[in-house]
Amino acid sequence: MGWFGLEGSLKSIPSHPLVMAGTPSPVPGCSKPHPAWPWALPGIQGQPQLLWAPVPGPQHSHREGFLPKISAKPKGCTGMEGFDIYRKVPKDLTQPTYTGAIISVCCCLFILFLFLSELTGFIATEIVNELYVDDPDKDSGGKIEVNLNISLPNLHCELVGLDIQDEMGRHEVGHIDNSMKIPLNNGDGCRFEGHFSINKVPGNFHVSTHSATAQPQNPDMTHVIHKLSFGDKLQVHNVHGAFNALEGADKLSSNPLASHDYILKIVPTVYEDMSGKQRYSYQYTVANKEYVAYSHTGRIIPAIWFRYDLSPITVKYTERRQPLYRFITSICAIIGGTFTVAGILDSCIFTASEAWKKIQLGKMQ
């Protein structure tokens, strides 16, 4: 109890419990003690001095400012900070080393190199190929476009002709549609260029003198093939296929009276770009033989045969670009993995160097 008022009119007012200077009091809900109250003054000659802390009443509302305000979350208590798994280490507790600096620089350069490599791969497109059994170009009407360019330097143009036949009963001698003959060697030779279509069934087309009005006695079938392709022309740098496998085939040194057989296996090919547009072409493998043919009536007139058959397997090339999430994952793996390995390496070197120093000082047994 405390006594307040003028002489002759003292009144008793309940007072606040005594607080000793320097005596911490625990804060409810926290294991850490609260620091000493700011109004607890130090005592004389080391003895604590007691102060009265009046409890404000209705008649003493002006004294409310004297009471301390205790925070609901005192400093040091756990809150959302307790979920922090990346605790910070003060700089005073770290020690820079010369070896660590070298490893850090090498680590950053290595990360930069890998980052640029991944960025280049992310920007560039890649070609993915797959195989399946199907006829990809169903809108072609069962036809395949053929482009042929061949030179016969020792055969006159009026003797050169193109014949087409297949297992569907087609037999065409002297095909002239979309074809052109260019004289060579002052008219002694001929260059034949033709664009025609064949059915998607086994068959053959051949360059011969069968369509000539008068058959020559000894036709010379030595030749050079400049181009033989099927379907649309594909000019893609990342696709290296056999679209013109007979390009540059040179038979000028062969027997002039020999026939030439080129056996072709045609493989349907589809190319799909980034926009989803598809182009249809055909690759082919080739085997050839050279021979002089005879029958019971004598030597058979030579020719240049292209015998073909279609493969049921279709090759599809698709343009793709690396997805963004895969690029981000790769970058995170590069950075995290590099820093982890570099940290382990630096720790091993630092531990070894400290152990060596202790050995030098004679502190290690």
Please report the DSSP string for 196-247 in residue order: EEEESSSEEEEEESTTSSS--SS-----EEEEEEEES----TT----TTTTT
Confidence at 87, pLDDT banded by 50, 70, 90: confident
Is the pLDDT score of 94 beyond 80? no
pLDDT at 22: 46
d(CA 178, CA 196): 7
Structural contact between residues 20 and 31, judged by C-beta atoms closer than 8 angstroms: no
d(CA 196, CA 165): 12
Structure tokens at 316: 């599809």
Confidence at 159, pLDDT banded by 50, 70, 90: very high
Is the pLDDT score of 226 beyond 80? yes
Structural contact between residues 164 and 172, judged by C-beta atoms closer than 8 angstroms: yes
What is the mean predicted confidence (pLDDT) over 23-45? 46
Q: Which of 287, 242, 244 is nearest to 150 (CA)?
A: 244
pLDDT at 166: 94
Estimate the crossing angle of helix 98-123 against helix 324-361, to 10 degrees: 170
d(CA 161, CA 221): 12
215 CB neighbour count, 10 Å cutoff: 11
Sequence-distant (≥ 6) Cβ neighbours of residue 82 within 8 angstroms: none
Q: Which of 203, 193, 288 is nearest to 249 (CA)?
A: 288
d(CA 177, CA 196): 7
pLDDT at 144: 93
Q: Which residues pair with 308 in a beta bridge?
A: 203, 264
Tell me whether strands 171-172 and 298-299 are parallel, antiparallel or unpaired.
unpaired
What is the mean predicted confidence (pLDDT) over 267-295? 90
Is the pLDDT score of 273 beyond 90? no
What is the mean predicted confidence (pLDDT) over 282-289? 94
Confidence at 100, pLDDT banded by 50, 70, 90: confident
| 19-33, 188-202, 247-261, 297-311, range with the lowest pLDDT | 19-33
CA angle 183, 188, 192 (to 5 degrees): 40
Structural contact between residues 144 and 197, judged by C-beta atoms closer than 8 angstroms: yes
Confidence at 305, pLDDT banded by 50, 70, 90: very high
What is the mean predicted confidence (pLDDT) over 125-137? 84
Q: How many CA atoms lie within 13 A of 14 on its CB side?
A: 5
pTM over 0.85, yes/no: no
Sequence-distant (≥ 6) Cβ neighbours of residue 336 within 8 angstroms: none
d(CA 277, CA 331): 32
Is the pLDDT score of 183 beyond 90? yes
Confidence at 296, pLDDT banded by 50, 70, 90: confident
Q: Taking the chain, what is the end-to-end CA distance rounded to the nearest angstrom?
A: 70
Residue-wise pLDDT for 339-364, tens only, equals 899 889 888 988 888 888 888 887 65
Residue-wise pLDDT for 3-32, tens only, equals 444 444 444 445 444 444 444 444 444 444
What is the mean predicted confidence (pLDDT) over 170-184? 91
pLDDT at 53: 47
Is the pLDDT score of 196 beyond 80? yes
pLDDT at 254: 92
Residue with the bigger pLDDT between 77 and 182: it is 182
Structural contact between residues 220 and 256, judged by C-beta atoms closer than 8 angstroms: yes
pLDDT at 365: 54
pLDDT at 364: 53
